[in-house]
Chains A and B, each alone.
Chain A
């Protein structure tokens, strides 16, 4: 069975400090991994994805994520947080093989709060 865990409901960081939002996954085969961001009363916006190749993936707004197969993790990072990064972040996984219709499994979300 596929699953995604985001162990922290909320992450608080000061503006200018580095941020990390954690994600671990479980799939039967190899994963496709995604990060989305949701601002209040808005839909989900795509940030970045890991398909294959380099384990460090760079995405929108200065975000990056590192795929770690041995730890089954895909943590989202940013070197210097901005107040405008405050939002709800979702990690999602798709099993390459054992999946029909390209369905995504989402984590429960992590609320990121960046204070000035």
Chain B
């Protein structure tokens, strides 16, 4: 059981480039989330989805886009990368809201130069 997987593990982008961070889960979870982690700042929610075809903004959505065409996949798109987007990105999923635990992927470390 792979759980939540993320690719790539590391990436260096130049300012203005675009890329997609991939996230997939094999637990048939309806809820999926994208967070970014900056040193000393905890995790901030970028976007989330409560099911295929339904997405909504989190706390820090500017500069990012998401889509959810299937239950399993929740890619995060960075358009026109900026140095402020240098961070570690985590994808998470849970079966439903309420008290259900969110399970996290291993993360993608992104540097924008």
Q: Do A and B form a real pair?
A: yes
Residue of B nearest to A107 (CB): B42
Supposing A101-B48, A101-B56, A107-B42 touch, asked if A43 and B90 sit within 8 A by C-beta, the answer is: yes
Identify which of residues 40-80 in chain A touch chain B, using a CB-to-CB cut-off of 8 Å: 41-46, 49, 51-52
The CA of A106 and the CA of B92, in the complex, are separated in Å by 14
Judging by beta carbons under 8 Å apart, are B97 and A99 in contact? yes
Supposing A49-B101, A101-B97 touch, asked if A108 and B41 sit within 8 A by C-beta, the answer is: yes
Q: Is A13 an interface residue (CB 8 A)?
A: no
The CA of A15 and the CA of B15, in the complex, are separated in Å by 46
The CA of A4 and the CA of B44, in the complex, are separated in Å by 12
Supposing A43-B104, A44-B104 touch, asked if A102 and B43 sit within 8 A by C-beta, the answer is: no
Q: A residues within 8 A CB of B92?
A: 44
Judging by beta carbons under 8 Å apart, are A106 and B43 in contact? yes
Q: Is B94 an interface residue (CB 8 A)?
A: yes
Q: Give 1 or 0 for each of A2-36: 1 = CB within 8 Å of chain B CB.
A: 00100001000000000000000000000010101
Judging by beta carbons under 8 Å apart, are A102 and B58 in contact? no
Closest chain-A Cβ to B9's Cβ sits at a distance in Å of 9
Judging by beta carbons under 8 Å apart, are B40 and A103 in contact? no
Judging by beta carbons under 8 Å apart, are A102 and B42 in contact? no
Judging by beta carbons under 8 Å apart, are A34 and B106 in contact? no
Q: Is A82 an interface residue (CB 8 A)?
A: no
Q: B residues within 8 A CB of A87?
A: none
Judging by beta carbons under 8 Å apart, are B42 and A109 in contact? yes
The CA of A101 and the CA of B55, in the complex, are separated in Å by 10
Q: A residues within 8 A CB of B102?
A: 34, 46, 102, 104
Q: B residues within 8 A CB of A44?
A: 43, 90, 92, 104
Residues on A facing B (Cβ under 8 Å): 4, 9, 32, 34, 36, 41-46, 49, 51-52, 90, 94, 96, 99-104, 106-109
Not counting A44-B90, A90-B42, a sample of 11 additional A-B residue pairs whose C-beta atoms are within 8 angstroms of each other reads A4-B42, A42-B107, A102-B94, A102-B100, A102-B102, A103-B45, A104-B43, A104-B45, A106-B42, A107-B42, A108-B41
Q: Can you list 26 contacts pairing A with B, beta carbon distance less than 8 Å?
A: A9-B40, A32-B98, A34-B101, A36-B104, A41-B107, A42-B106, A43-B104, A43-B105, A46-B101, A46-B102, A46-B103, A90-B43, A94-B97, A99-B97, A101-B31, A101-B50, A101-B56, A102-B96, A102-B102, A103-B33, A103-B45, A103-B58, A104-B33, A104-B45, A108-B40, A109-B42
